[in-house]
Amino acid sequence: MEQYLTATVDQSFLSKVRDADLPKMLFLSVNPNTLVEEPMTMAVDVSSSISRYTDGGPVGVGCVVQTGDVSCDSAYDSVDRLLQKFEMALREKSIAPVRRELQLRLLKLSSLELKDNESLSTLESNFSDDNDQLSYEEEDVLEFTEIFDMFEQQAPEGIKANFTKIIESKKIPIRRSRDTQNKKTFFVYAENKIMMKICNNLSPHDVFQMYDILRESKAVERDSFIKNILSQPVDPNALHEIPGLKDVAFYYLILALMRNHMLNRLYTHKLVFLFDQLKQMKVTKKETTQHIERALASLDRYPIASRPPGLCIIFIMVRDRDGAQKDLQRVRELFEKFYAFDVFVKKDPTSEDIKNIVSKLKAARNKFYDSLVVWFMGHGDKTNLKVSNGHIHRRLDLIEPFTQIEWFHKKPKLFFIQACAVKNKKKRLSSTTSPDMRGLPAATDSLGWKAKAGDQWTQKYDEHTDLCTVNTFADTLISYATMWYQSAARNEEGSLYVDTLVDQLRLYGNKESIENVLRRVHYNVNTVSLLSDDGQWKQAPYFESSLQKEFIFPKTDTNEKVNTN
């Protein structure tokens, strides 16, 4: 039975929102992660659902709304309806359907009734509280509160009140400082922010040409879904003349690709194909291509666009380790102050401490981080790392559990291990558990519409593509202080590996890929001559990586604001 919501709407705050910003705000509110959970049977059919989602005309200031529009109860419905409104806007050559959709979404969120919670969470309490999950409506409240702030608009009072209740009840740590550097802005997904930045730099003609490229491309001539997208009317003159309609056309294409599992935060080669073709067209006409080149560069990287950009967890054995406190100070200062990460430190951890922290990270409040960094500093050998109550296996007990956390799939996970790797004389540990080795997605196409590959490889694997799932060990980098069977240098002033890594990350971490930074670390460490009881020796760090894109730490200019224009 269809639910109806009756409420008085004071929309005076919304009248200040420009038409050009309306599609941006709605697109930013989409949770792209939910789009992989339920397949889309076909492109959106407006006629089949018009009775379910009716506007009933525009919503005005102080009017009473009585409609099924606001009874939407899932993220899938929300995205499908947004696609419908974008279709209507393109067909009617009007931004009005998009404005009505935003009004109705805000009405629903303002009308939510949430329980109060008197305790404010801290980052440390995240690792001792229950695994609270976020409902779709609660996540919507968090997103829209941040969206209004991004556009320097005041959110409705009802939404602001619910935001505070959610922060408290779900134990989401919000710093109390008024300094903008310490303000959390990570409820809007990074890939959406990246797409908005790309769209802002595109002209109406660029967007229209993207549709033309699809129409003329042989790569999609047998794709019925793309044909359905192209059936939507895109008037080049209207894209120029009507504020916001260019954005509607771009976001409609992006959402449709996402909804049909053809695009996500990791696999962006279809969009790269479009921009490559657009760049070639512009080069032929001797037009500027700098904005296209910037878009291609951003798509080649992991999307990191939120503050804090990630979570850094530091496990450090302090007892019987001279210089450990100085290592901790350097690492913590780098990630907490220089890169503005959330940092959690666990001194002298036990094996159970590590298991508990992994368990608490599965809470939905941690889903907004764009990256994960894990440090372990302590004694070790080739197989094991020493903890307070014994030993843990490097891979099975430290690395693998973190890679299996759902929120960090398709996101970069970096591990830095400062420990010796001397030969272990004990019997090698075994385990009855095995990694989740789901097939690595392999989207291929010699025409460029799919990931670039040779013809022979394409013919063999083209029918077995999957852009939704990943091997849990994918997107992981592990950096070790020393090669197997060798020692790692440390004295009362700290560790050579940590000193060098922190130095190079500070100098180049936000300019070059992490792999390039680590090569610099290896070079510098190898130049240092070390002295021990056995004579002179040199330390050789190394890393192993399954990263699929370029990872560069984001620049953290405290005065920099998200570009919404």
Query: What are the start-end ranges of the H helices in 66-132?
Result: 75-92, 96-110
Q: What are the φ/ψ torsions at residue 543 (nearest 5 degrees)? A: -140, 160
Helix, strand, coil shares, percent, the chain, to 5? 45, 10, 45
What pLDDT score does 127 carry? 54
Measured CA to CA, the distance from residue 479 to residue 82 in angstroms comes to: 43
Structure tokens, 244: 């916001």
Express each pLDDT in 275-287 by its tens digit. Answer: 999 999 999 999 9
Q: Which pair of tokens denotes residue 229? A: 């997208």
pLDDT at 530: 75
pLDDT at 232: 83
Is 90 exceeded by the pLDDT of residue 561? no
Q: In whole angstroms, what is the distance from residue 181 CA to residue 557 CA?
A: 8
Half-sphere exposure at residue 211, Cβ-oriented, CA atoms within 13 angstroms: 23
Distances (CA, A) of 442 to 228, 453, 468, 515: 25, 10, 11, 23
Q: Helices 157-169 and 96-110 sit at what angle, rounded to 10 degrees?
A: 50
Look at 150-164, 176-190, 312-326, 358-372 and tell me which has the smallest mean pLDDT.
Answer: 176-190
Q: Which of 165-169, 239-243, 478-482 bottoms out in mean pLDDT, i.e. has the lowest?
A: 165-169
Most confident among 76-85, 138-147, 210-219, 467-476 (mean pLDDT): 138-147
- Could you report the per-residue pLDDT of 477-518, keeping only the tens digit for each? 999 988 765 676 667 788 889 989 999 999 999 999 999 999
How far apart are alpha carbons 544 and 176 in whole angstroms? Answer: 39
- The answer to whether residues 446 and 455 touch, using CB atoms and an 8 Å cutoff, is yes
Q: Is 477 helix (H, G, I), strand (E, B) or coil?
A: strand
Main-chain dihedrals φ then ψ at residue 494, nearest 5 degrees = 120, -165
How wide is the angle at C-alpha 466 spanned by C-alphas 464 and 470, nearest 5°?
120
Mean pLDDT, residues 69-76 taken together: 50
Query: What are the residues facing 544 on neighbouring strands?
Result: 478
Strand, coil or helix: 87: helix
Question: How far is 190 from 307, CA to CA, in rounded Å?
Answer: 10
Which of 257, 275, 240 has the alpha carbon at shortest distance from 30?
257
* Better-predicted residue by pLDDT, 132 or 251: 251
CA distance 555 to 396: 33
Q: Is the pLDDT score of 224 beyond 70?
A: yes
Using the predicted structure, report yes or no on whether residue 173 has a pLDDT greater than 50. Answer: yes
The structure's pTM equals 0.81
Classify residue 382 as exposed, middle or buried by CB count within 10 Å of its CB (0-12, 13-18, 19+). Answer: middle
Q: Residues 329-358: what's their mean pLDDT?
A: 95
pLDDT at 38: 47
**Candidate from 229-233, 491-495, 561-565 with smallest mean pLDDT:** 561-565
Measured distance CA(509)–CA(448) in Å, rounded: 31
Q: What is the pLDDT of residue 76?
A: 63
Mean pLDDT score across all residues of the chain: 79
Indicate whether 116 pLDDT > 70.
no
Instruction: Count, in order, helices (H) and strands (E) of the chain.
Output: 19, 14
**Distance between CA atoms of 407 and 280, rounded to whole angstroms?**
37
> In angstroms, rounded to a whole number, what is the distance separating the alpha carbons of residues 152 and 477?
38
Residue 263 near residue 254 (C-beta atoms within 8 A): yes
Q: Quick one: average pLDDT of 453-471?
A: 63
3-state SS record for 282-338: HHHCCCCCHHHHHHHHHHCECCCCCECCCEEEEEECCCCCCCHHHHHHHHHHHHHHH
pLDDT at 334: 96
Question: Burial level of 282, CB count in 10 A (0-12/13-18/19+)?
Answer: middle
Look up tokens 């009004």; give the residue. Answer: 103
Q: What is the pLDDT of residues 364-417, one digit of tens each?
A: 888 999 999 999 999 888 789 999 999 999 999 999 999 999 999 999 999 999
Backbone angles phi, psi at 353, to 5 degrees: -60, -45
pLDDT tier at 133 (50, 70, 90 boundaries)?
A: confident
In the chain, the amino acid numbered 83 is L
**Token pair 């002033």 in the structure block, residue:** 493
54-62, Cβ contacts within 8 angstroms, sequence gap of 24 or more: 55/97, 55/100, 55/104, 58/96, 58/99, 58/100, 58/103, 59/9, 59/11, 59/100, 59/103, 59/104, 59/107, 60/11, 61/9, 61/10, 61/11, 61/12, 61/15, 62/8, 62/9, 62/10, 62/11
CB 271 within 8 A of CB 297: no
Q: Give residue 333's pLDDT.
A: 96
How is residue 173 annotated by DSSP? -
pLDDT in tens, 11-52: 566 778 899 999 999 999 998 877 654 443 333 333 333 333
CA angle at 430 for the pair 427 and 435, rounded to the nearest 5°: 150
The DSSP bridge pattern shows strands 311-316 and 342-347 to be parallel
